[in-house]
């Protein structure tokens, strides 16, 4: 066979060639833009020439601090298109982490959304490698800003060359992108993505047994473009010529519902909190969501109740997938096998809530206390992954040696696996609750809690216990307007028939709001601190 490099630039070239009329619909701060892949292609080519003008060279890191919109999409292809590295930065992180990330990646230039300017102005003096800032505004004039030098994206593009070629001779193993984990503990860790990894991962998103993305889809990635490349959806959708809907800055559940109806969205993807929000919106107002063939949920476990509400109440197919920053990210996908179709409704739901089976192209191992675990759905072990879109190190980081061992990524996720090879995440290694020599899965209890009608959100953390080593505490946010009185007892009674006695939470604490990470996951570290404070416990 020929040795043909798999490159990110060639994905957009395909869209230009075969799908020039297909649309990218993009919400920015001020307006809704309708572009075609012909437009996106030309604009990306202009951008590549501009990047050259600004002194960006092969291997240089191009940082972005931006929401999901067409300009961000253009940088997705423009930076790797000249051999530079697209570095998406999570704008919801603390300034301290953002400074760390930009300096550690040694970003040469930053592309910034207008609403992120104040944040970057504040930290400008601490950025050691950035030589220029570009603001992605709709306005004709540059906003007032202390950033220097500051350029306007659209003005720069005006001066760019719309025929600029994608760079030739890229090694498919060169770095095309990078992203830092959102760091629930410690400093963020950088992961780099090769051209090859991104292209192969895009193939994986097109497989019928995963997301089956195709030309006929209208894809709306709600997961931010600064979080693992919006799970690779902008790359794959462009390559396949799908219509894309980019929901833009500070979107609300209402905007998502309106876009689904207005643009006939077929596939959308995001974390469970997004879908909880959308559910609430769908319950308040009527929308036509009949175009949706897939709501894709990942990032944390999809609660049974949410899957059920989408599918049974709203007739919207809801799919669950698993991955991490280190895995580009899609690693497993949950679908029933052909011979599982006649399971009872309850069994189907249980099955669909699992994280699914490994995507073709990857390899897994699950290591428990005594080597590889049995596929009996009982024995717990850590999930190890390898494959062409799994990272093999953290970028310039000593912590690599703890996670990448003998050619395997140690995910830090504890799973069980059933005889079908379907995995179920029971916890992260650091969140498992150890009680009297046994392990308790906080995730299982959380899923059960969420199924209670009165409960909006739930998280379970451990507190130290003199007798049992650790014991579980349930932290609960009730649905709006509900009183706490009598709820604790009711919740415990609700859980009692579902779990062994030692799994039952020792207490239920009620919160108005749960602390969350920048990507909408429960911030268990902070929750644990709050719970400890509640009981006057010290480390």
Active site members: 181, 326, 434, 439
Nearer to ligand ADP, 52 or 386 (CB): 386
Segment 401 to 420, residues that bind ligand ADP, using CB under 6 A: 411-413
225 binds ligand ADP (CB under 6 A): no
HSE on the CB side for 533, CA within 13 Å? Answer: 6
Q: What are phi and psi of 200, to 5 degrees?
A: -65, -35
Provide the phi-psi class of 469: left if phi over 0, else alpha when psi is between -120 and 50, else beta: left
CB of 346 to ligand ADP, least distance (A): 20
Burial of 392 by CB count in 10 Å (0-12 exposed, 13-18 middle, 19+ buried)? middle
Q: CA angle, 524 as apex, 521 and 528 as ends, to 5°?
A: 155
387: DSSP letter: S
Site string for ligand ADP, 464-503 (x = CB under 6 A): ----------------------------------------
- Token pair for residue 79? 């930076």
Q: Which among 47-55, 72-80, 320-328, 364-372 is the span making contact with ligand ADP, rule CB under 6 A?
A: 320-328
Residue from the set 41, 234, 277, 299 that interacts with ligand ADP by CB under 6 A: 299
Residue from the set 428, 434, 525, 532 that interacts with ligand ADP by CB under 6 A: 428
Residue from the set 322, 389, 404, 468 that interacts with ligand ADP by CB under 6 A: 322
Residue from the set 66, 130, 292, 301 that interacts with ligand ADP by CB under 6 A: 301
Q: In whole angstroms, what is the distance from residue 231 CA to residue 187 CA? A: 22
Residue from the set 164, 320, 354, 524 that interacts with ligand ADP by CB under 6 A: 320
Q: Which among 82-90, 295-303, 311-319, 390-398 is the span making contact with ligand ADP, rule CB under 6 A?
A: 295-303
Q: How many CB atoms lie within 10 A of CB 68?
A: 25
Burial of 31 by CB count in 10 Å (0-12 exposed, 13-18 middle, 19+ buried)? exposed
Q: What are phi and psi of 405, to 5 degrees?
A: -130, 125
Residue from the set 298, 305, 381, 505 that interacts with ligand ADP by CB under 6 A: 298
Segment 135 to 194, residues that bind ligand ADP, using CB under 6 A: 181-184
| 432, 439 Cβ separation under 8 angstroms | yes
> Locate tokens 């319950």: which residue?
283
Handedness of CA 298, 299, 304, 307 (dihedral sign): negative
CB of 475 to ligand ADP, least distance (A): 18
Q: How many residues bind ligand ADP (CB under 6 A)?
A: 20
Q: Find, among 440, 455, 456, the residue nearest to 499 by Cα.
A: 440
Nearer to ligand ADP, 289 or 325 (CB): 325
530 binds ligand ADP (CB under 6 A): no
**Would you tell me which residues interact with ligand ADP (CB under 6 A)?**
181-184, 298-301, 320, 322-325, 355, 411-413, 425, 428, 521
């Amino acid at each position: 066979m020929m040795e043909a490099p798999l490159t990110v630039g060639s994905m957009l070239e395909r869209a230009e060639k075969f799908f020039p009329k297909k649309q990218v619909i993009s919400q920015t701060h001020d307006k809704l833009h309708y572009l075609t892949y012909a437009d996106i292609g030309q604009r990306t080519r202009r951008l590549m020439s501009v990047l050259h003008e600004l002194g960006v060279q092969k291997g240089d890191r191009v940082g972005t601090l931006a929401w999901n919109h067409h300009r961000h999409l253009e940088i997705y292809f423009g930076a790797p298109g000249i051999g530079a590295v697209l570095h998406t930065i999570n704008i919801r992180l603390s300034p301290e982490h953002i400074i760390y990330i930009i300096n550690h990646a040694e970003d040469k230039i930053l592309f910034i959304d207008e609403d992120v300017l104040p944040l970057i102005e504040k930290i400008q003096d601490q950025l050691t490698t950035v030589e220029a800032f570009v603001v992605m505004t709709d306005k004709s004039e540059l906003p007032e800003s202390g950033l220097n030098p500051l350029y306007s994206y659209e003005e720069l593009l005006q001066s760019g060359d719309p025929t600029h070629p994608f760079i030739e001779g890229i090694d498919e193993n060169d770095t095309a992108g990078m992203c830092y984990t959102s760091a629930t503990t410690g400093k963020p860790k950088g992961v780099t993505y090769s051209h090859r990894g991104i292209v192969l991962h895009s193939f994986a998103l097109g497989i019928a047994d995963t997301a089956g993305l195709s030309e006929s889809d209208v894809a709306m990635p709600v997961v931010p473009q600064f979080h693992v490349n919006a799970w690779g959806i902008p790359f794959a959708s462009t390559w396949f010529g799908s219509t894309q809907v980019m929901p833009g800055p500070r979107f609300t559940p209402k905007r998502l519902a309106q876009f689904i109806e207005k643009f006939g969205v077929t596939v959308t993807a995001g974390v469970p909190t997004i879908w909880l929000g959308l559910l609430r919106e769908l319950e308040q107002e009527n929308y036509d969501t009949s175009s949706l063939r897939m709501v894709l949920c990942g990032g944390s476990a999809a609660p049974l109740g949410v899957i059920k509400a989408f599918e049974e109440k709203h007739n919207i197919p809801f799919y669950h997938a698993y991955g991490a920053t280190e895995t580009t990210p899609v690693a497993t996908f949950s679908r029933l096998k052909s011979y599982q179709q006649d399971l009872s409704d309850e069994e189907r739901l249980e099955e669909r809530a699992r994280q699914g089976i490994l995507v073709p192209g990857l390899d897994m191992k699950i290591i428990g206390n005594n080597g590889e675990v049995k596929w009996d759905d009982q024995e717990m072990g850590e999930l190890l992954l390898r494959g062409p879109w799994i990272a093999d190190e953290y970028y310039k980081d000593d912590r690599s040696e703890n996670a990448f061992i003998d050619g395997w990524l140690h995910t830090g996720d504890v799973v069980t696996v059933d005889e079908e090879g379907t995995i179920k995440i029971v916890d992260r290694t650091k969140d498992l609750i150890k009680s009297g020599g046994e392990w308790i899965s906080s995730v299982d209890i959380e899923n059960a809690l969420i199924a209670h009608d009165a409960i909006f959100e739930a998280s379970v953390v451990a507190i130290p216990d003199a007798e049992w080593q650790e014991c579980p505490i349930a932290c609960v946010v009730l649905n709006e307007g509900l009183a706490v009185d009598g709820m604790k007892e009711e919740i415990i009674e609700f859980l009692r028939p579902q779990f062994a006695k030692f799994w039952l939470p020792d207490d239920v604490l009620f919160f108005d709001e749960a602390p969350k990470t920048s990507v909408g996951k429960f911030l268990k570290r902070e929750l644990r601190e709050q719970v400890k404070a509640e009981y006057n416990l010290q480390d």
